């Protein structure tokens, strides 16, 4: 193995009420997210005591990993910041680390932005170790097996009478349509990879089942088109079509962080309740043993080739 350390790279989240606004400012700096949206999201976090689950989920994953390397952890938007971690790695004599990013798919937000974050952190630390991002794992048998197990469990959690007719509703973070168009080496990769993962999970759980891929957690100004339909609108449409039960599968995420526990467990669940629809939400991969062992398997693969510079370009932002 060519690596002498593993670096887990994640989004980061607040861990107390006073962290929330500074964290959000970090997330949206220069990204044109309207103030009203920011205050709305602040309220989601404060409703959970100002604590996002994501940092503890990273600690749990790191605890569960079974790798023969020192493991480090750095975030994009909150402590421990990537730059501080890279500084520590350099001080510890790390020369070449593999980076496992807690995002499985191609797109500017889910891939390129993490690569840029890593480059920026390395640029700030003279003599920083080389850092090789491990490949996308959306279709890795470990990720798929974990999601299939969790989808099966969610299906079984529905009342028996609701199981046969339950639709599988896969969800992922919406992104601007322009970002979706340019995702991956040839464009369209974010949506195509999500569809592939959803199809693989469905095939393992119940090959004949009807499923959809929909979007959640839309941000940005209303004037910019994002991927649709939103999960809540989709539940209404399904109800109109006579569907009375759904298994919601957050295939676009790897842990039950705020977008999952607020946007699905509160918002989508409230919508299903209002409609009189049975909803069961599948857990994300989290610390499922097959997801955990996948990380070791990725480390043992030949070193991945770095994405081309033109892959998943940053969105062009017009001054407002
Ligand atoms: C594709 C994607 C993923 C999946 C891949 C990955 O996991 O990286 C993801 C994950 C996450 N997104 C998260 C949180 C937020 N995302 C925001 C805003 C945005 N997300 C975007 C995309 C994505 N986001 C985009 C295009 C924006 C607009 C601003 C911009 O162009 O960057 C905002 C701003 C407020 C708002 O929601 O408007 C927040 C607070 C958290 C942490 C949750 C927690 O704290 O537990 C996680 C894991
Ligand atoms: Fe996000």
The minimum-distance atom of ligand 1 relative to the CA of 54 is 46
- Distance between CA atoms of residues 218 and 230, nearest Å: 8
Those residues whose C-beta lies under 8 Å from the C-beta of residue 302, and which sit 6 or more positions away, are none
- Identify the residue whose C-alpha is closest to ligand 1 atom 38: 219
101 in the same domain as 35: yes
Reading the block at residue 291, the tokens are 């997801």
84 in the same domain as 168: no
Q: Is 109 in the pocket of ligand 1 (CB under 6 A)?
A: yes
* Residue 208 CA to ligand 1 centre (angstroms): 33
23 in the same domain as 115: yes
Q: What is the pLDDT of residue 208?
A: 93
72 in the same domain as 37: yes
Q: Do residues 247 and 151 make contact, with C-beta atoms less than 8 angstroms apart?
A: yes
Please tell me whether 44 is known to bind a ligand: no
ipTM of this complex prediction, to 2 decimal places? 0.97
318 has pLDDT over 70 = no
HEC secondary structure over the chain: CCCCEEEEEECCCCECHHHHHHHHHHHHCCCCCCHHHHHHHHHHHHHCCCECCHHHHHHHHHHHCCCCCCEEEEECCCCCEHHHHHHHHHHCCCCEEEEEECCCCCCHHHHHHHHHHHHHHHHCCCCCCEEEECCCCCCCHHHHHHHHHHHHHHHHHCCHHHHCCCEEEEEEECCEHHHHHCCCCCCCHHHHHHHHHHHHHHHHHHCCCCEEEEEECCCCCCCCCECCCEHHHHHHHHHHCCCCEEEEECCCCCCCCHHHHCHHHHHHHHHHHHHCCEEEECCCCCCCHHHHHHHHHHHHCCCCCCCCCCCCCCCCCCCC
Q: Quote the domain boundaries for residue 49.
A: 5-136+290-300
The minimum-distance atom of ligand 1 relative to the CA of 176 is 26
pLDDT digits (tens, 9 = 90+) for 138-195: 999 999 999 999 999 999 999 999 999 999 999 999 999 999 999 999 999 999 999 9
229 in the same domain as 200: yes
Structural domain count of the chain: 2
Residues of the chain with pLDDT > 70, as a percent, come to 99
pLDDT digits (tens, 9 = 90+) for 29-53: 989 899 999 999 999 999 999 999 9
Could you tell me which of 206, 104, 115, 191 has the C-alpha nearest to residue 154?
206
271 in the same domain as 147: yes
Q: Is 272 in the pocket of ligand 1 (CB under 6 A)?
A: no
* Residue 130 CA to ligand 1 centre (angstroms): 27
pLDDT digits (tens, 9 = 90+) for 184-223: 999 999 999 999 999 999 999 999 999 999 999 999 999 9
The minimum-distance atom of ligand 1 relative to the CA of 257 is 46
102 in the same domain as 185: no
Ligand located closest to 253 CA? 1
Reading the block at residue 240, the tokens are 């109109």
154 in the same domain as 26: no
Could you tell me which of 15, 8, 114, 3 has the C-alpha nearest to residue 59?
8
124 in the same domain as 164: no
Quick one: pLDDT band at residue 1, thresholds 50, 70, 90? Answer: confident
pLDDT digits (tens, 9 = 90+) for 264-314: 999 999 999 999 999 999 999 999 999 999 999 999 999 999 999 999 999
Residue 158: give its domain's CATH number: 3.40.50.1400
92 in the same domain as 20: yes
Please tell me whether 114 is known to bind a ligand: yes
- Distance between CA atoms of residues 303 and 98, nearest Å: 9
Look at residue 310 and tell me if it is in a domain: no
């Amino acid at each position: 193995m060519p690596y002498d350390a593993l670096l887990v790279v994640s989004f980061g989240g607040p861990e107390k009420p006073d962290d929330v606004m500074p964290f959000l400012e970090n997330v949206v700096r220069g990204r044109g997210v309207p103030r009203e949206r920011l205050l709305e999201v602040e309220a989601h976090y404060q409703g959970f005591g100002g604590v996002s689950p994501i940092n503890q989920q990273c600690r749990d994953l790191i605890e569960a990993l079974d790798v023969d390397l020192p493991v480090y952890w750095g975030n994009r938007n909150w402590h421990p910041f990537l730059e501080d971690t890279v500084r520590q790695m350099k001080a510890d004599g790390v020369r070449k680390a593999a980076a496992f990013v807690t995002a499985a798919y191609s797109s500017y937000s889910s891939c390129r932005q993490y690569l840029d974050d890593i480059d920026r952190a390395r640029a700030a630390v003279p003599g920083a170790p080389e850092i090789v991002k491990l490949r996308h794992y959306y279709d890795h048998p470990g990720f798929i097996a974990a999601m299939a197990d969790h989808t099966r469990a969610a299906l079984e959690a529905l009342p028996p009478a609701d199981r046969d007719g339950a639709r599988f509703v896969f969800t992922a973070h919406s992104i601007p349509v322009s970002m979706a168009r340019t995702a991956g080496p040839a464009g369209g990769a974010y949506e195509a990879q999500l569809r592939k993962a959803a199809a693989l999970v469905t095939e393992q759980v119940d090959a004949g089942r009807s499923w959809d891929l929909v979007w959640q957690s839309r941000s940005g100004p209303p004037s910019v088109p994002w991927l649709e339909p939103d999960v809540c609108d989709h539940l209404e449409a399904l109800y109109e079509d006579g569907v009375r039960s759904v298994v919601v599968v957050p295939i676009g995420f790897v842990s039950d962080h705020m977008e999952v526990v607020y946007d699905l467990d509160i918002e989508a669940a409230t919508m299903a309740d209002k409609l009189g629809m049975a909803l069961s939400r599948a857990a994300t991969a989290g610390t499922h043993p097959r997801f955990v062992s996948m990380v070791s398997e990725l480390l043992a693969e030949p070193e991945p080739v770095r994405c081309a510079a033109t892959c998943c370009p940053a969105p062009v932002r017009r001054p407002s």
